Copies of this chain bind each other. A is one copy, B any other.
């Protein structure tokens, strides 16, 4: 079905254009006009593929989450337990340019979600999906007897999201120097996993 594929490819291009506009102007500063210009299409083509402004913002936020989750749990695909959790952290922290670009979009949407109920609801749905993946990693880790006593799933999952969102914010806004950033983030991820691990 080539037409269906074309449709999906075109939608992905338009969402990528939306991310570029969000990175440059912030979420509330993003207009359909700016997205259409960035994508090199008309307003009516944009509306045909993605709908109105709220639909576009929700779709763009959801797509960046899907991309992040895909990267996190595909990379973790041949691993399990704490190794999968560690790989997931590596995949979502803004360690290189590609991951920093996704994190940038994610943090911009996070701030905007506070005053935008549709974005907030979509964000909660994405967080629920991430929690399911993380629960799988922790179940495996428990089966492999990797976890120290007293570790509870919900607390680890909260800590995981806090680490990812907090360190993304800190490293992007405080502008940790490019050459030092990967090292600082890697240390944070290593500490996170080693604090969960059984010390026998």
Chain A interface residues (CB < 8 Å from chain B)? 22-29, 104, 107-116, 120, 123-124, 127, 155, 158-159, 161-167, 169-170, 172-175, 184, 187-188, 195
Q: A164-B166, A184-B158 are in contact. Are A111 and B27 (CB under 8 A)?
A: yes
A155 closest partner in B (C-beta) = B187
Kindly state the separation between the CA atoms of A172 and B111 in the bound complex, as whole angstroms.
10
CB-contact partner of A120 in B108, B124, B159, B175, under 8 A: B175
Kindly state the separation between the CA atoms of A165 and B22 in the bound complex, as whole angstroms.
21
CB-contact partner of A173 in B120, B155, B170, B175, under 8 A: B120
Q: A161-B166, A163-B162 are in contact. Are A172 and B23 (CB under 8 A)?
A: no
CB-contact partner of A115 in B24, B110, B124, under 8 A: B24
**A115 CB, nearest partner CB in chain B, Å:** 4
B170 contacts A116, CB within 8 Å? no
**A109 proximity list for chain B (CB < 8 A):** 111
Q: A26-B115, A115-B23, A116-B26 are in contact. Are A110 and B173 (CB under 8 A)?
A: yes
Kindly state the separation between the CA atoms of A119 and B104 in the bound complex, as whole angstroms.
15
